[in-house]
């Protein structure tokens, strides 16, 4: 189907992308949380941050940064621990806000994140995951024809397919999160439990990344 553009086994790739996209991760959780707390607009700000971060990592994988990450333990460790620290910071901040703030505080009264705040957090969250760079280079090369002269073309096609599925999935989460927001506004206990679970998940992701072997 796309062999003329250097892409092989496209349907196997599509099936793999679907399953990979559906795996819960800190990016999707952050988008869901932004949407549930602040509405569809903030959810899409977060999703565009994730989109740009993933596109950047795909580009870095293409130009060879992934090879440096895999072959340089020091560089890998720096990026890995930076990502872990940021996840731990997000989780700790959410838990602090949830557990320390006074009980009269509702989700509706929570100050909305600014455009830069939401977008930047999502972008940094996406960029500070070194394993994503490694995944892109190790996954993409399986579907790139070694005989094709310009690898940028198949990389662009594969990356575009992945980003399209990712944005579709994040859109589902955004509208689902916005629907949950109306429930959380009048049920402080439910919102507090939800935020606590989200904060704990971010802490778990951070710990997992920090303790994972290279």
In a domain, 156, yes or no: yes
Please tell me the total count of domains within the chain: 1
Confidence of residue 154 (pLDDT cuts 50, 70, 90): confident
State yes or no: pLDDT of 177 exceeds 80.
no
What pTM does this model have? 0.66
Is 20 contained in some domain? no
In a domain, 102, yes or no: yes
Residue 161, pLDDT score: 93
pLDDT at position 164, please? 93
Q: Determine the pLDDT at residue 107.
A: 39
Q: Is residue 17 part of a domain?
A: no
Residue 15 domain-assigned?
Answer: no
60 located within any domain: yes
Q: How far apart are the first and last CA of the chain?
A: 36
Q: Stretch 3-7: mean pLDDT, rounded? A: 82
Query: Given its phi and psi angles, is residue 92 left (phi above 0), alpha (psi -120 to 50 degrees) or beta?
Result: alpha
For the four alpha carbons of 179, 184, 190 and 191, in that order, the dihedral sign comes to positive
| Residue 129 lies in domain | 25-211
The answer to whether position 106 is within a domain reads yes
Percent of the chain exceeding pLDDT 70 equals: 68
With respect to residue 41, please indicate whether it lies within any of the assigned structural domains.
yes
């Amino acid at each position: 189907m796309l062999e003329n553009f250097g892409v092989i086994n496209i349907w196997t790739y599509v099936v793999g992308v679907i399953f990979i996209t559906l795996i819960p991760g800190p990016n999707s959780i952050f988008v869901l949380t932004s949407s549930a707390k602040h509405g569809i607009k903030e959810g899409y700000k977060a999703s565009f941050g994730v989109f740009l971060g993933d596109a950047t990592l795909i580009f870095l994988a293409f130009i060879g940064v992934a090879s440096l990450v895999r072959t340089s333990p020091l560089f890998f460790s720096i990026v890995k621990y930076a990502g872990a620290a940021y996840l731990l910071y997000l989780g700790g901040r959410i838990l602090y806000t949830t557990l320390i703030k006074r009980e009269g505080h509702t989700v509706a009264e929570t100050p909305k994140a600014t455009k830069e705040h939401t977008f930047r957090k999502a972008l940094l969250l996406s960029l500070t995951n070194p394993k994503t760079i490694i995944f892109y280079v190790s996954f993409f090369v399986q579907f790139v024809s070694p005989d094709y002269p310009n690898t940028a073309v198949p990389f662009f096609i594969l990356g575009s397919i992945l980003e399209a599925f990712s944005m579709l999935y994040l859109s589902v989460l955004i509208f689902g999160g916005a629907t949950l927001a109306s429930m959380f506004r009048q049920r402080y206990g439910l919102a507090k439990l939800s935020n606590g679970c989200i904060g704990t998940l971010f802490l778990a992701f951070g710990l997992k990344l920090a303790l994972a072997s290279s």
